[in-house]
Homo-oligomer: A and B are copies of this chain.
Amino acid sequence: MAPPSSSSPPPPSSSSSASTPDETPLPSYAAYKFFTVSSPAPYVAHVQIQRPDKLNAFSEAMWLEFGRVFAQLSGDADVRAVVLSGAGERAFTAGLDVQAAAKDGTLTGDGGKKVDAARRAKGLRGQIEEFQGSIGAMERCEKPVICAMHGISLGLAIDIACCADIRICASNTRFAVKEVDIGLAADIGTLARLPKLVGSTSWVKDVCLTARDFSAQEALSVGFVSQVHEGKEATVRAAVGLAAALAEKSPVAVQGTKELLNHARDHGVAENLRYTQLWNSVALQGEDFPAAILSVLKKQRPTFAKL
C-alpha cells in the first residue's frame, strides 16, 4: 500500500542530517519542558517528545503540555505543517508512564479520598475527558501533522498517532495497542479512530483485543502508515521533506482540505457536500486561488500570505 519511493515528495536538498542537532529551535516554544519545537524547513515545525531516558513515557504533566503545544501551533501563522517524533533512538513513546500514574493516584479517580462508586465515576470521567482533550489537540490543530514513529510505540503511542494526518515509520518500529494487557479498554482515542483509519476491521479487532505487537511492514500493509523508511533518521527526514512540500502550498487550500476531510469522517456525503459549499464560498474569495491559477497558467511558482 506504500507509494513507490519514486513518487514520494523529494527529500530536502541538503544531504546532511535533518535530525535534531541541526534544527533551529523556535523561540516562542522554548518554555515547554517535555517537548522541543524546532524549524527544519520554512514554515515547518518539528515537535520532539523529550523524555528519552524514560522511553518518552507520558506523565500527566506531559500530556497536559502536549495539548498546549498543539493549541499554540494551531494558531501560529508562522507554521504551516508539523512533524511529531520522539527523541532518542529507542522509542517514539512507550505510552503512559504507568509507575508514575500508579504512584500519584492518576488512575484511581478518587484523589485519595474514600468516595462511593458514583462519586468516583464523576472524577474518572473528568480525568478521561481531560486526557482525551489534551491528545486530541493534535487533531484539532488546523495545520497538517505528520507523525514519524520509530522503535517502541505502544499504547498511548497509537492514540497519539491516530490524531495525526499522515503516519510514517521506521522499519524497526514495534507497535501495540497495549491497553487490554493492563486491564482496560483503550480510552484516549484508539478505539474511536483506528477503525476509521484502516481498511480491515478484522485486523483492528485482532490487534485491539489481543494487544499483540505488529511490525512496520504489517502497519504498512493494512494502511495504518503510508511509508516505511530505514531507521529513525531517514524517517524523520522523509517526514520533514513531506512537511516542507505541504508548507510551500497555499495554506488556505491545505488547511481547508484537512478540515473538510476531518468533517467527512464523521458525516454523511450530503452533509459534507453542503458544508463544503459554505467553506469554499469564502475560501475562494481569498488571494490564494487566483494566485495559484495564475501560476498554473503562467507556469510560475506562487507564494502565499500567512494564515
Contacts and interface: CB of A to CB of B under 8 A. Distances in A.
A246 B212 contact: no
A167 B214 contact: no
Given A209-B257, A288-B183, A199 B196 contact: no
A181 B205 CA distance: 32
Interface string A45-88: 00000000000000000000000000000010000000000000
Nearest to A259: B185
Contacts of A246: 209-210
Contacts of A115: 305
A240 B4 CA distance: 30
Interface string A27-46: 00000000000000000000
Contacts of A118: 252, 282-288, 307
Interface string A203-224: 1111011111111011001111
- Classify the secondary structure of A's interface with B: helix
A86 to B, nearest CB: 18
A239 B167 CA distance: 31
Given A144-B209, A212-B7, A281-B109, A180 B257 contact: yes
A279 B188 CA distance: 12
Q: How big is the A interface, by class?
A: 35 or more
Contacts of A4: 215, 217-218
A21 interface: no
Contacts of A288: 118, 183-184
A182 to B, nearest CB: 5
20 contacts: A7-B215, A107-B284, A109-B284, A116-B285, A118-B286, A119-B286, A166-B206, A180-B253, A183-B288, A185-B259, A185-B260, A192-B276, A195-B261, A195-B264, A201-B265, A203-B226, A209-B254, A266-B270, A275-B275, A275-B278
B293 A107 contact: yes
A121 interface: yes
A98 interface: yes
A249 B180 contact: yes
